[in-house]
Structures are given as structure tokens and as C-alpha cells.
């Protein structure tokens, strides 16, 4: 049968259920599937269900175990999730250095959330690098953090990234922040920021289409 036939694996069906927000079914299918098929993506998504208490009781320790397994397999989103647990000490002993190493690995593989987290552990120069990189990959929270970081040095650029966040993600918080920032700027500066923001958004959307 084809991809959507009845012979699809329990793991694939579990991931589909996760996407549909059918949490109980996703949890049951992933738990069953991982007894026979060790795959990083399965451990990661089962970990998310455990961590958030979706489809059953919240199980932080079990979630961290899932993230750790998937991280050991080199799965970037799980490396980020496990690093968050290590940094906070939730479900595992606190280890900031191990967390940083995992963030670096995941960020190097293109995980945008890892880039933002790594920025919070870095000096201003390195933080600026990671936030800009995540922003260029279309991560709206990174755009907002990057805007905050560069505002004093370049308010027009800061406003441009807020406009880009609105255009790419419809980010309401970015819209409100942009409106507040624009009240302190001239019409010429606002126009420049709008033009730059549109260009950034177009570049991000084009890159997303190419990756799809």
C-alpha cells in the first residue's frame, strides 16, 4: 500500500495523531511503536506529550528520558529540549555546560529555538550573531529579541525586524511593540524600516518555499 495506506507504521500514525492534536491516540501509538522501532523523532514527540501532560498525566522524568534518547541520536529539536531541562534542572540534574554544548550542536544544525536559547547564555556579540541568524530563518521570537538587542544602536533596523515578524508570523506582540517604537521615530525612519522589513520578510518567505 502507499504512504497513506493501512500498512503505515504505528510511529507514523502516532506522529499524524500528534499533528491532529489527538493527544491520547498519539501517546498510545508512540508508546507502542517505540517498543519495536527506536527513532529519534518518535522519542522527541512522546517526550513533548509527557512534558506537557497531553493525552495523560504529566511525567517530567519520562519526558526528559525521551529527550535524552533522541538527543543522543543527534535530533536537533530534542537536543534543544534536553538542554532546556539540563539548564533548568527539571527532571535531571542541572548542568549548564552540557546544556550549552547541546544548544551549540542544535543551533549549528539550524534549530532556531536553540539559537535563541544559546543567545541568552552568550556575550553580546555572540548573542547578536545567533539572534540575527534565527531571525533570518524566520523565527518571530528571535526577531523580537534581536530588535530589543539592537534598538539603542540602530532603531530603524530594530523596527524593521519587528515589521518583518508581523509580516512573516502575524505576531501581535511584535505589532504592538512596533507601534510603540514608531511613535518615537520620524516619518522618514518609519518608511525606511517598513521597506527593510518587507525585504526581510520576502527573503524569509522565499527561503521557506525553497526548503519546503
Q: Are 78 and 67 in contact (CB under 8 A)?
A: yes
Low-confidence ranges of the chain (pLDDT < 70): 1-7
**pLDDT at residue 4, as a whole number:** 45
Sequence-ordered list of residues with C-beta below 8 angstroms from that of 202, at least 6 positions apart, any chain: none
**pLDDT at residue 1, as a whole number:** 34
**pLDDT at residue 6, as a whole number:** 53
How many angstroms separate the Cα of 158 from the Cα of each of 130, 155, 164, 203? 15, 5, 10, 17
Q: Could you tell me the pTM of the whole model?
A: 0.88
- In this predicted model, what pLDDT tens digit does every residue of 49-85 receive, in sequence order? 999 999 999 999 999 999 999 999 999 999 999 999 9
Residue 171: half-sphere exposure toward Cβ, Cα within 13 Å: 23
Amino acid at each position: 500500500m502507499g504512504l497513506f495506506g493501512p500498512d503505515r507504521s504505528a510511529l507514523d500514525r502516532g506522529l499524524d495523531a500528534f499533528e491532529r492534536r489527538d493527544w491520547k491516540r498519539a501517546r498510545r501509538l508512540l508508546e507502542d511503536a517505540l517498543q519495536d522501532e527506536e527513532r529519534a523523532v518518535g522519542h522527541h514527540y512522546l517526550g513533548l506529550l509527557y512534558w506537557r501532560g497531553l493525552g495523560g498525566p504529566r511525567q517530567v522524568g519520562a519526558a526528559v528520558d525521551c529527550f535524552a534518547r533522541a538527543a543522543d541520536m543527534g535530533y536537533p529539536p530534542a537536543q534543544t529540549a534536553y538542554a532546556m531541562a539540563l539548564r533548568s534542572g527539571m527532571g535531571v540534574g542541572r548542568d549548564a555546560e552540557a546544556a550549552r554544548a547541546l544548544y551549540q550542536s542544535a543551533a549549528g544544525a539550524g534549530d532556531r529555538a536553540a539559537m535563541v536559547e544559546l543567545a541568552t547564555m552568550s556575550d553580546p556579540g555572540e548573542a547578536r550573531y545567533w539572534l540575527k541568524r534565527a531571525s533570518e530563518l524566520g523565527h518571530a521570537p528571535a526577531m523580537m529579541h534581536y530588535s530589543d538587542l539592537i534598538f539603542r544602536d540602530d532603531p530603524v533596523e530594530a523596527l524593521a525586524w519587528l515589521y518583518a515578524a508581523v509580516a512573516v508570523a502575524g505576531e501581535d506582540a511584535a505589532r504592538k511593540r512596533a507601534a510603540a517604537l514608531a511613535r518615537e521615530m520620524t516619518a522618514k525612519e518609519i518608511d525606511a524600516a517598513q521597506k527593510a522589513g518587507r525585504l526581510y520578510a520576502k527573503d524569509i518567505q522565499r527561503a521557506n518555499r525553497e526548503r519546503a
